[in-house]
Chains A and B, each alone.
Chain A
Amino acid sequence: GENVEQHPSTLSVQEGDSAVIKCTYSDSASNYFPWYKQELGKRPQLIIDIRSNVGEKKDQRIAVTLNKTAKHFSLHITETQPEDSAVYFCAASTGDNRLAFGKGNQVVVIP
């Protein structure tokens, strides 16, 4: 089945710096790649997603890039702020019509 891996597991950045989280996947049939943000004690919420026919997508300070050949996609957060501190999950659609999630990255923004 689909295997989604996230690196690094924990990332600490200074406020104002950029943060990058990378995910790799194994299923060639994957064509949808969402990113979810989960703040402490809250539910995961979609922050951005990308489909396989697009290489990059941007929404204000957040961007996602996709490299289908290498089977990896990355989340980029620019000008980080304390409210960006959270766990971020990447996911990939699978050939059997579900989402496979990575184990999550803890991002800590240091004021």
Chain B
Amino acid sequence: KAGVTQTPRYLIKTRGQQVTLSCSPISGHRSVSWYQQTPGQGLQFLFEYFSETQRNKGNFPGRFSGRQFSNSRSEMNVSTLELGDSALYLCASQPDSTSTDTQYFGPGTRLTVL
């Protein structure tokens, strides 16, 4: 099976703009989780989607939002970008919405905010 894919791989934006990132899970996987990775902060959980519903949400401001489509592909949107939003954004997929299954990560989208 093909692995988790993310597009685009790199993005450069300026403060105040908005951005949309895309994640295609492994075929058959219905859960997609999003993480923000910054140096020294590890992987911080943004949210999880399962069957087009947000199941879980981390401690991020409302500028961060997401959605999931019927084919399980997920998008993440960040509005009114700030310099501190510069990070690697990773998505991970798993078959179902459970915390006890292996999560398979995508390669990430590197977002730079100038």
**Which residues of A are in contact with B by a Cβ distance under 8 Å?**
31-32, 34, 36, 42-46, 49, 51, 89, 91, 93-94, 96-104
A97 CA / B56 CA spacing, docked (Å): 8
Question: Given contacts A46-B103, A98-B33, A104-B42, could you give 6 more A-B pairs where the C-beta distance is less than 8 Å?
Answer: A36-B105, A43-B107, A89-B43, A93-B99, A98-B48, A98-B56
Decide yes or no: A42 and B107 within 8 Å by CB, A94-B99, A97-B55 being known contacts: yes
Partner of B108, one of A31, A32, A43, A103: A43
| A32 proximity list for chain B (CB < 8 A) | 99-100
- Which of B4, B35, B99, B108 gathers the greatest number of chain A CB atoms within 10 Å? B99
Partner of B56, one of A42, A45, A49, A96: A96
| A94 proximity list for chain B (CB < 8 A) | 99
- Which residues between 85 and 114 of chain B lie within 8 Å of chain A, taking CB atoms? 90, 97-100, 102-108
Q: Which residue of B lies closest to A95 (CB)?
A: B99
Inter-subunit contact B90/A43 (CB<8 Å): yes
**Which residues of B are in contact with A by a Cβ distance under 8 Å?**
4, 33, 35, 40-45, 48, 55-56, 90, 97-100, 102-108
Q: Which residue of B lies closest to A29 (CB)?
A: B99
| B105 proximity list for chain A (CB < 8 A) | 36, 43-45
| B4 proximity list for chain A (CB < 8 A) | 43
Q: Give, as a whole number of angstroms, the nearest-CB distance from B43 to chain A.
A: 4
Inter-subunit contact B45/A100 (CB<8 Å): yes
Partner of B98, one of A51, A97, A100: A97
Q: Give, as a whole number of angstroms, the nearest-CB distance from A59 to chain B.
A: 14
A93 CA / B33 CA spacing, docked (Å): 14
Q: Which residue of A lies closest to B103 (CB)?
A: A99
Q: Give, as a whole number of angstroms, the nearest-CB distance from B2 to chain A.
A: 14
- Which of B40, B42, B107 gathers the greatest number of chain A CB atoms within 10 Å? B42
Inter-subunit contact B99/A98 (CB<8 Å): yes
Interchain Cβ contacts under 8 Å between A and B, 23 examples = A31-B100, A34-B102, A34-B103, A42-B107, A43-B107, A43-B108, A44-B43, A45-B105, A46-B103, A89-B43, A93-B99, A96-B56, A97-B56, A98-B99, A99-B99, A101-B35, A101-B42, A101-B43, A102-B42, A103-B40, A103-B42, A104-B42, A104-B43
